Amino acid sequence: MSEHALTASAQRDREYALHPYVDPKVGPMPFVVTRGEGIRIWDEQGREFIDAMAGLWCASLGFSNERLALAAYKQMQELPFYHCFTGKTHMPLIDLSQRLIELAPAPMGKVLLANSGSEANDTAIKLIWYYNNALGRTQKKKIIGRHRGYHGITLAAASVTGQVVNHQGFDVPFERFLHVQAPDFYHNGLLGETEEQYADRCAKELEDLIAAEGADTIAAMFMEPITGGGGVLVPPRTYYDKIQAVLRRHDILVVADEVICGFGRTGSYWGCQTMGITPDILTCAKALSAGFQPISAILISQKLADGIAEGTHAIGTFGHGYTYSGHPVPAAVALETLRIYDEMNLVEHTSRVGGYMQAELRRRFGEHPLVGNIRGVGLVAGLELVDDKALRKNFAPSMKVGAQMVALCEQQGLIVRGCPNDTIALSPPLIITEAEIDVVLNKFAIGLDQLTQRLR
Ligand code: PLP
């Protein structure tokens, strides 16, 4: 738990607000954030932090941007709301849909807009079921996710999510959802097994699951190109080739969840490009609007769009849509965000600065006795802290080593994130510079030294 005093606002927060990822009886204490600028935020006591998590992996342009503020203001003055039901539409929705199709890592047919990553994935699941119903494949409905994968917390998205904490107490996953192992070579690789062989074994596990369930019952598999919240897992190089070959063979759709990886995070525009995935459906959110406005998108292939159109024609209308699908204000902010990405040469910048961050992490912490494994590509990384490096053994969960490290970093004015297996994630705003990476890693090093002293 962080150690700052409970202010009056924090007390009111405790009284009135229910928070994600908090034990209301234990903590951590409310941390009242009041202001942001560049890669930094300030709390109500005036303490300054570099947010090396870009909030929740989303504030790609940091915590201040005049152009995005103006884009929202201008749109609110021109047309603050309109919907897209019954054929109504507006320019931000049209322009953003077109731009996303142009940017997509594989040919895509249509775009649907929503408000969050969870909604995007939930919608994707609905579209998959709707599509298979339209084709008369009424049994082909099961969805495969991966353990430790994260796809959000609405009911269907939480079902494909593979994290226990998002299932316990919520009566999910629903029946139609299956999970295969996390692509975690560090822990799941066998003694003497190469990454290639491990990838073969993952593909075999998938093939066996499909055989056991029946290919005609399985509709799609969801994958984050690089697993984010589950501990920054970068699958072995040939993993996706092998997994996709299995899925294609059984006519199972590939869904790429680009909610974290999309828009330069991994050093390519899309995680699919970094990892070699050709999706039938792509979902994105977060950096789509630099986190400044809630918005997400679902891109579907022409094949799906055609099937959905056929099904809809038979029913008479498409019975899906949110009041705020394609809301003009977030859509205008997203469009301006994408323009800024173009102007800042996003991919060149994130691959260069990300390459620097990855190299420095390995150079500075690779030999550290507490750091068992360093994973990541581009501007997303995870350092797994371990009790025994040779045995790849984690600390007892009751020691909360990850949470201790997060708190120690906070004392240094650095925000990082604790993920499963005491993996500490870094996912800084994409505007970060090499010099700022150095400052982040200096603070991280102090936190790690203090943790080492404490555990000794
Ligand atoms: N998918 C991924 C990969 C995510 O990391 C997240 C959120 O962190 C989501 C989906 C859910 O997005 P949201 O929190 O906007 O619903």
Nearest CA to ligand 1 atom 7: 152
Judging by DSSP bridges, how do beta strands 177-180 and 218-223 pair with one another?
A: unpaired
What percent of the chain is predicted at pLDDT more than 70?
99
Tens digits of per-residue pLDDT, 126-163? 999 999 999 999 999 999 999 999 999 999 999 999 99
Res. 423: pLDDT tops 90: yes
Average pLDDT over residues 52-61: 98
Distances (CA, A) of 305 to 143, 279, 299: 19, 14, 10
What pLDDT does residue 1 have? Answer: 38
Tens digits of per-residue pLDDT, 199-257? 999 999 999 999 999 999 999 999 999 999 999 999 999 999 999 999 999 999 999 99
Of 57, 125, 151, the one to substitute when testing ligand 1's pocket (max ligand atoms within 8 A of C-beta) is 151
Tens digits of per-residue pLDDT, 334-352? 999 999 999 999 999 999 9
What number does the ligand 1 atom closest to the CA of 119 have?
16
CATH code that applies to domain 31-64+346-455: 3.90.1150.10
Which pLDDT band holds residue 456 (cuts at 50, 70, 90)?
confident
CB distance 118 to ligand 1 below 6 Å: yes
Residues 268 and 351: beta-carbon distance below 8 Å = yes
What pLDDT does residue 37 have? Answer: 98
Alpha-carbon distance of 312 to 223, in angstroms, equals 27
List helix spans (H) across 257-379: 271-275, 302-315, 328-343, 346-365
CB distance 271 to ligand 1 below 6 Å: no
Which pLDDT band holds residue 2 (cuts at 50, 70, 90)?
very low
What pLDDT does residue 403 have? Answer: 97
What pLDDT does residue 5 have? Answer: 67
CA-closest candidate to residue 452, choices 397, 390, 408, 393: 408
Tens digits of per-residue pLDDT, 83-100? 999 999 999 999 999 999
What number does the ligand 1 atom closest to the CA of 152 have?
11
Judging by DSSP bridges, how do beta strands 218-223 and 253-257 pair with one another?
A: parallel
What number does the ligand 1 atom closest to the CA of 116 have?
15
What pLDDT does residue 189 have? Answer: 98
What number does the ligand 1 atom closest to the CA of 118 have?
16
Average pLDDT over residues 314-331: 97
Residues 6+ apart with CB under 8 A from 388: none
Alpha-carbon distance of 88 to 85, in angstroms, equals 6
Show me where the domains of the chain are located. Answer: 31-64+346-455, 68-343
Residue 117 C-alpha to ligand 1 middle, in angstroms? 4
Res. 3: pLDDT tops 60: no
Residues 143 and 252: beta-carbon distance below 8 Å = no
Average pLDDT over residues 35-63: 98
Single-letter residue type at 17: A
Of 260, 263, 272, the one to substitute when testing ligand 1's pocket (max ligand atoms within 8 A of C-beta) is 260
Tens digits of per-residue pLDDT, 295-313? 999 999 999 999 999 999 9
What pLDDT does residue 417 have? Answer: 98
What CATH topology corresponds to 68-343?
Answer: Aspartate Aminotransferase; domain 2 (3.40.640)
Residue 140 C-alpha to ligand 1 middle, in angstroms? 26
Q: How many CB atoms lie within 10 A of CB 107?
A: 11
Nearest CA to ligand 1 atom 5: 260
Residues 124 and 281: beta-carbon distance below 8 Å = yes
Res. 442: pLDDT tops 70: yes
Res. 438: pLDDT tops 70: yes
Residues 116 and 327: beta-carbon distance below 8 Å = no
Alpha-carbon distance of 224 to 146, in angstroms, equals 9
Alpha-carbon distance of 144 to 399, in angstroms, equals 33
What pLDDT does residue 351 have? Answer: 98
Single-letter residue type at 432: I
Please state, rounded to an integer, the average pLDDT across all residues of the chain: 97
CB distance 259 to ligand 1 below 6 Å: yes
Distances (CA, A) of 338 to 25, 68, 98, 299, 427: 42, 11, 12, 16, 19
Tens digits of per-residue pLDDT, 165-201? 999 999 999 999 999 999 999 999 999 999 999 999 9
Tens digits of per-residue pLDDT, 387-414? 999 999 999 999 999 999 999 999 999 9
Measured between its terminal Cα atoms, the distance across the chain in Å is 20
What pLDDT does residue 4 have? Answer: 54
Joined together, the tokens standing for residue 281 give: 């459906």
Q: Can you point out the beta strands (E) in 115-210?
A: 142-146, 177-180
SS3 content of the chain, % helix, strand, coil (to 5): 45, 15, 40
Residue 177 zone, left/alpha/beta (φ > 0; ψ -120 to 50; rest)? beta
Alpha-carbon distance of 351 to 332, in angstroms, equals 27
What pLDDT does residue 6 have? Answer: 85
What pLDDT does residue 27 have? Answer: 85
CB distance 229 to ligand 1 below 6 Å: yes
The number of CA neighbours under 13 Å toward the Cβ of 196 is 0
